[in-house]
Structure 1
Amino acid sequence: MKYKFLNFRLRKVVHYSLILCILLIQVIIAIFFYNEFVNEKKLKFIKTQLEDSRALGGLTDNSRKDFMDAQDHLQKYMVTQDNKDLNLYFQSLKKLKTNFDKIGAYENASPRLRNSLAIQKMDTLKVTKLKTLIDSVYQTSLNPPKKIEDKQYEPEKYKNQFEDLKIQTHTYADTIKKKGFMGRLKDAITGKVNVQKESTVVTLTNNKTIDISQVKSEMNNAMKSMDKHYSLEIKKVQLNAAKNQRDNIKFYSNFSKLLVYSNGLIDVYENAIKDFKSELEKEYNKQSSDNNKIRRY
């Protein structure tokens, strides 16, 4: 009877132990399936976001390159005034805007990236404003400041009354003594040749009496007139140069403001995407480590 009772108790312990083992196995299987399906799904989702963040990083790198190209084309345009360089400047900015649009499309689908951008004070810099600035500066570029053209100055010609001059012309010829046959033969042998020379004398006679004081007065008046004329011309050139300089500063300041604004947007996106990528890498490593621990256990 005693053995029978012990046998019953032992069977009961074994029975409950088996039930407990079955439950434990079921829990382990459930944890395994949860880890393999649910946690792996989480890990895969994080990995996809991480790959997207790397692609976004590539877009910011391209944006930085487009920005540098735009800056280079603007500097060339300021030197050459060639519309080809100006068009390349706007093409680079449009590429930059396209990169921002792609990042913005992902931002709309990713609250996490949106939060990172909010931390970077994205509200102060809007991509939509960039397009408005590009259009505005492009319209301004259609009316560049006028160039200062070199002005040709011709001195006033001296006026003279030639009717007061009397011109006389006289021509004089040298006389050569005529030699006999033997004399000419001797000159031919010795190479001595006498050539008749003619001289023309032109004589100019001014019939008008010169008044020295009047000439001096006319010279002084002429010098004063020249000083006044060229002083006014120099002043005009200086005023035109100053106006042109102001117009150039205003004209190119619009281009510079656009580049500064674009650079600010690039900095915002770069910092936000770096933070976004860093958080995803940490989360991915943690989730991967947790999954591996569960597999080992």
Structure 2
Amino acid sequence: MQKILVTGANGQLGSEIKMLALHYPQFDFIFTDIDDFPLDQSEVIISNFNRIQPDIVINCAAYTAVDKAEQDTVVADAINHLAIATLASLCSESGAKLVHISTDYVFDGTSPVAYKEDDQPNPKSVYGVTKLAGEIACLKNFPDSIIIRTAWVYSEFGNNFVKTMLRLMSERDSLSVVDDQVGSPTYAADLAQVILTILDSATWESGIYHYSNAGEISWFDFAQDIKEIAQKTCKITGIPASNYPTPAERPAYSLLDKSKIKAVYGIEAVDYKISLKKMMERLD
């Protein structure tokens, strides 16, 4: 039985993998999080890895406080970059497979079309810079790794846009939401299924892949869909990102092209609205 080490197991994606693990009895899952597998401590990573001796590593852990990262650069780099270099080296030495999760923030958001895996990264935030550094270190130290870039992740676990919108719509009569940042949401349960589908397949094609749900919307559109499904009466007004300044710059356009993951693994992106309805039903 193959042993799978999952880091960041209490986050959105890790929690969804836990939900699906029961359907994959051929794998022995070891779920770890910051308390028992802190990615900012390389010595602990090494000792824990050697103790667990995994056959596969799914790295869901990341420093994702995008705005805080602008000041907390050392810790963000330790978790998003240096830890990945260590994990990739350990996997290379031991022969374990590695699936690492990255982000649309490696791009600057100026593309007129959906980003492909080989498009030139140009991150505009500390978070994006550290995540790109992690990708580079991952493939340098272990070229046989798989990296999956995703975007706008949400689930019934943790804090995310959908849950925040539902709360605010219950508390307020009106909301303003940015309408000039465009991409596609990702239901963490769908991404978890994608990862396990890859691991359960007979194919292992290393490199970078893109996955998000299907669709092209703004945050304003996303909020309107949440309102419609939840049958809320809160008025939502679209505003430009310039009216809502944040410490970290967000990509204005970060739609991900999913044609590669479909061609290699036969994975079709689920329509974002179908997944949104499913997630919101699970919240009830």
Which bin holds the TM-score, normalised by the shorter protein?
under 0.3
**Higher-RCO chain (CA-CA 8 Å, sequence separation at least 6):** 1
> As a proportion of its length, which structure holds more helix?
1
> As a proportion of its length, which structure holds more strand?
2
TM-score normalised over the length of structure 2: 0.19
